[in-house]
Amino acid sequence: MDARAQKKISVLVVDDSALVRQLLADMISNDPELEVAGLARNGVEAIKLMQELDPAVITMDIHMPELDGLSALEYIMKKSPRPVVMLSALVRQGAVPTLKALELGAVDFIAKPSQFPTSVSLIGEEVVAKIKAAAGVQVRMVQERERRAKPPRKLKLNKEGLEGGKVVVLGASAGGPKALAELLPAMPEDLPARMVIVQHMPGPFSGPFAKRLNYKSRMTVRQAADEEVLKEGEALVVPGDSDMVFEKVHEGRIRSRLLPTVARHGASPVIDVTMESAARVFGDRTIGVLLTGMGSDGAMGLGMIRDAGGYTIAQDEATSMVFGMPKAAIDMELASEVLPIDRIAERVVSLL
């Protein structure tokens, strides 16, 4: 038997519901690469078992008695950093604490369906995939890089030679909220381009996410609506249950259209759809940026942008929490340039 078969990814499951703990444990145990290290009912038990069992990954519910998931996560990230995947209710009220968890260092989150646990089969594949992706994240190194990082330099525009009429499409998945919270604040408020953010995220979460980015940024950031004309100096977040495409209207104006997403659960909005449409409508005036994330969404989109004469950027491995999406584009040689997250904003501005 080889070493890989012997060494499974150990997972500590933390949830105040005995039924949910058992359902998650069954999903994990049914995968040959995973094993359940232990079960905890609250944050206090989670911390105790983490110290005793040293699991590779922790799944953590947010709302629990005695010590909630956010408090436990904060303690873990300070004392013994390791990959944590949060569980959140798929309702708007669950968005704010979930986004806070990502800022504290959680790798990703899983949104429980509204009929959970009766519809638990809907998220089984997602649970396993996100645990495996999280296991590959060097959380201690991520925390150390962020501790050493300087505040983002607020970029200013050199007005001479500016060329308007461009669009910047940013695509991200796991690790994206953290990366975007670093990239957006560096952008000038008078950016001479339209900007669209395609972050894999459930529908109820994208509105609060846009508000948090807007609070941190000098640009106006808001959730996109259907059939609105894109404006320069504004960043639109695609709603999580839609895919965004573009269409030309009279007098050369371009507006957005929101369509029902073609994605499977957990991977919407689809980055490729928006990038392909941008390449078709804006052509060589398109800049595509692919950030951290699991899977390969956005890789083909970058290729379409480059084929149309646009410019493409992929985040580098060292600063990507999950290198899946950028790696797919880099391996297919679809990225014009590979950059760390702290240099992407400056490069985008220089391209304008």
Catalytic residue among 10, 173, 206, 277: 173
d(CA 47, CA 34): 21
- Catalytic, 297? Answer yes
d(CA 349, CA 242): 28
- Catalytic, 296? Answer no
d(CA 106, CA 20): 20
CA dihedral 174, 72, 111, 275 (to 10 degrees): -20
* Residues facing residue 217 across a β-bridge: none
- Catalytic, 320? Answer no
Catalytic residue among 31, 272, 297, 316: 297
d(CA 285, CA 192): 12
Catalytic residue among 61, 200, 206, 316: 200
Q: Which residue's entry shows tokens 């649970």? A: 127
SS in 3 state form for 224-287? Answer: CCCCCECCCCEEEECCCCEEEEEEECHHHCEEEEEEECCCCCCCCCCHHHHHHHHHHHHHHHEE
Q: So which residues are the catalytic ones?
A: 173, 200, 297
